[in-house]
Structure 1
């Protein structure tokens, strides 16, 4: 379910993200590529999706970025979100 959640978050599909979380998806579970839903939503600037993930308990201090080089907050700032 992690790959579905990260794909929906990266696409900004807040409805699917909420449905997957309600169905028991782990909010901070990484995809096979090692990225989390919060990481991808922040990177893409999907504010509503980020809000849903944070409300569901996503860790804003987690490692984020393609190489785990940052945090979601730093990524948001770097990308002007």
Structure 2
């Protein structure tokens, strides 16, 4: 099972993008996205390296809140990198 995580697009270069997720920057593939993305958009990441969907900022913020709640519940002090 894969956990899908939201990330904000920082830059786009063809079929790849640099995204920010919990303060960490990652280079990800956009090859699986059915629509183009731009700087500032949010995408859903799977397997930490593939953007599989675009999402709006409100949905991304709600996902982050849910992840924070989960981490707090299980006692984790650090956010995932």
Bigger helix fraction: 1
Bigger strand fraction: 2
Query: TM-score by structure 1 length?
Result: 0.23
**Greater C-alpha radius of gyration:** 2
